[in-house]
Structure 1
Amino acid sequence: MIKVLVGKNKRTLELRENHNFDWLNKVEIFAIFNQQDSGNISFGVISNGEQFFIKYAGARNLEYTGEIQAAIERLKKAEEVYKHIVHQNLTPFLSAFQIEQGFGLKFKWVNGECMHNHWDFTPFEKYNSPYSPFVKLRNLPLKERISILTKIYEFATFVEAKGFVMVDFYDGSILYDFKNGEFYICDIDFFRKSPVVNNIGEDFWGSTRYKAPEEYQLNAAITSATNVYTLAGLAFAFIGGRSDKSFEKWEASKNLYNICLKALENNPSNRFSKISSFYHEWNESILGSPLHL
């Protein structure tokens, strides 16, 4: 392990290999996210009195075991995704930059806590600590949690209309500002233009908590029906029993429960074929039973 000092305030960054971060010398760093296995290292920085989020590929953190150039190429592809998908609930993308040893993306900083904050909370703490963002979310009123889910589904429908498939979308892509009640999506790096095929097999990008069966199958089509599976999984995480899909653990209406069960069918052809159809049914159910969400 190598420790390097970054930013004009000299924050410590732990790496597997030495790397030149002189390009950060003119900014103050207030946050470092260095435990991702994607090959990226991210920073919260202050420049000219404004806060920004920088995602950088080119240095090897302690978690990443792949090729550095592969991480750089993935982040370059992500730039095109952020250029095509612009939404009020997505962290605002500003620009990209290339330096000799790496590549980075710059975003506006948004306040919010990540629903899968694995760098601060163990898996047990995520679901049990009162300070865990996920636990705090589960303690919100049911109506507020359903409102967050509805905004997520609206965003997903927007992405679908743009011709994209949401790859590697999970609770770690969700930020919530508990003070102001504001919600954001972050990290859509792996979203891809349709058609998409699982060219990796069982290790296809995504969280095992939300991946559909086809996301484990080599050469399987990854479609809107795949995304519907993930979106329903989020519903059970937010208002149900997470891995326990029983109605007894479900906090909302039977109609919403049945919609999400259909979305979780193992066979993609038995689910909703479009996110827009799932979103429509979800909304219709909420409007039809406002007192029994």
Structure 2
Amino acid sequence: MVLHPLLGVDEVPAVEPYLGRVGEVFKAYREQDSGCVSYGVQLLDGARWFVKEAITDDARRSLERGWAFHRTVRHRAIVPQVHRIAVRQSWAVVMPWRDGEVLYHPTLGGPQDRTNPAGPMARFRALPTDRVLRAFDRVLDAHLAVESAGQIAVDFYDGALLYDFAGDVTHLVDLDEYRPGPFVLEEDRLPGSRRFMAPEEFVRGAVIDTRTTVFTLGRAARLLLDAGDEERAWRGTPQQLAVIELATEADPDARFEDVRRFTDAWRAANTPQDA
């Protein structure tokens, strides 16, 4: 029996040379600020895979956390980690390739301009609102599965959204910092984008729970449904905005208690009143 060249190997001395031997590396992401280097590889049978290698200690710890997360959560919108390969006291994880563009891609060279008309975020925001709502609904579905598995969203932002403009399909990637909860924050802050983070994520000793995930998802809806980056061009309805405002209250106790209640309220706000 011939083992799969990616799923059947447990250890390699170096990732990229190995990928070049078993297939063609058609994409390489070397300038990511995550401490990882990633590759798109096409094997001889035509199958495409995404391989992400940790090259720093922080990235290795993050991949360890992500591996544990993917063992507990399965959802069609979440790109799974299906195998991992040991490499030089570190790890590389193997995922199926998904077509699309990450809406925000920070690199070592600095932040990306979300307002660039040619960029993926600006193009996404310019889509008809029904497509944006459909994409966000898939995000909510995925987070219902996350919540059911007892996991809390950490470091979720537009860089975790992979959108296929041609196929109108949304996938979630790079959820490596998600973790079981509730938990008490033992650091000065959690990793993540300030634009999406709840106030308690900056307070050592704060409880991080489902209300924190609600805040993050509320911010995602607010930012995805705005025509610009200044949050002055809301494209949704007043009913949707009212749900978002409740979801993103500074006081966790004033928010929706969990993702299920937030999702129910959001979907009710999307339903025509005469339906």
TM-score normalised according to structure 1 size:
0.82
Q: For residues 9-47 of structure 1, give each alpha carbon's deviation from its aligned partner in whole angstroms, at most 9, with x where no partner exists.
A: xxxxxxxxxx78543341321112223333221111122
Q: Go from structure 1 to structure 2 and tell me whether the alpha carbon gap of 1:46 and 1:278 turns closer, same or farther (over 3 Å shift).
A: same
Once the two structures are superposed, the pairs formed by residues 1-293 of structure 1 within 5 Å of their partners are: 21-26=16-21, 27-48=23-44, 49-57=46-54, 59=55, 68-119=56-107, 123=111, 125-127=113-115, 129-202=116-189, 204-240=190-226, 244=230, 249-289=233-273
Q: For residues 91-145 of structure 1, give each alpha carbon's deviation from its aligned partner in whole angstroms, at most 9, with x where no partner exists.
A: 1332111134421110000001111023499757321x22200011011001111
Give the C-alpha shift of residue 227 in structure 1. 1.1
Give the structure 2 partner of residue 8 of structure 1: none
CA contact (8 A) 1:43 1:55 kept: yes
SS of the residue 1:93 aligns to: coil
Report which structure shows greater RCO (CA 8 Å, sep ≥6): 2
CA contact (8 A) 1:38 1:71 kept: yes
Give the C-alpha shift of residue 241 in structure 1. 6.2
Aligned equivalents of 1:237, 1:166: Cα separation in 2: 17
Amino acid in structure 2 at the alignment position of 1:239 = L
Q: Go from structure 1 to structure 2 and tell me whether the alpha carbon gap of 1:218 and 1:242 turns closer, same or farther (over 3 Å shift).
A: farther
CA contact (8 A) 1:94 1:106 kept: yes
Q: Alignment RMSD, CA only?
A: 2.3
Q: Go from structure 1 to structure 2 and tell me whether the alpha carbon gap of 1:142 and 1:241 turns closer, same or farther (over 3 Å shift).
A: closer
Aligned equivalents of 1:121, 1:206: Cα separation in 2: 18
SS of the residue 2:114 aligns to: helix
Aligned equivalents of 1:171, 1:21: Cα separation in 2: 28
Amino acid in structure 2 at the alignment position of 1:149 = F
Q: For residues 59-103 of structure 1, give each alpha carbon's deviation from its aligned partner in whole angstroms, at most 9, with x where no partner exists.
A: 3xxxxxxxx344323312321211211111111332111134421
CA contact (8 A) 1:239 1:251 kept: yes
Aligned equivalents of 1:279, 1:185: Cα separation in 2: 17
Q: Go from structure 1 to structure 2 and tell me whether the alpha carbon gap of 1:21 and 1:240 turns closer, same or farther (over 3 Å shift).
A: closer
- State the identity %: 26
Which runs of no fewer than 5 residues in structure 2 stay unpaired?
1-13
TM-score normalised according to structure 2 size:
0.87
